[in-house]
Amino acid sequence: MDELCENCRYYLAVQTNYKEDGTCRFAPPTISLISEQAMGIWPKVKNTDWCGQFSPKRKQKKS
């Protein structure tokens, strides 16, 4: 398995015009003030990105 974001347990795919977009949920979101409203924002990543915090996705149990 390649140690890419798309294979990491912290990667969350996001619906956009580009199917390789997602966010990294390894760390808590940072606070951003957008139009005077505080919002939590996770780093945007591509599914082919990688980092040193890779952790493989857990296999889903069959029920």
Nearest CA among 49, 3, 2, 1 for reference residue 22: 49
DSSP label at residue 20: T
pTM: 0.77
Q: What is the pLDDT of residue 63?
A: 64
- CA 29 – CA 12 distance, rounded (Å): 13
- CA 55 – CA 9 distance, rounded (Å): 6
Task: Give 46-63 as a 3 state SS string.
Answer: ECCCCCCCCCECCCCCCC
Give the tens place of pLDDT for each residue, 30-53.
998 877 788 899 999 999 999 999
Say yes or no to pLDDT of 23 above 70. Answer: yes
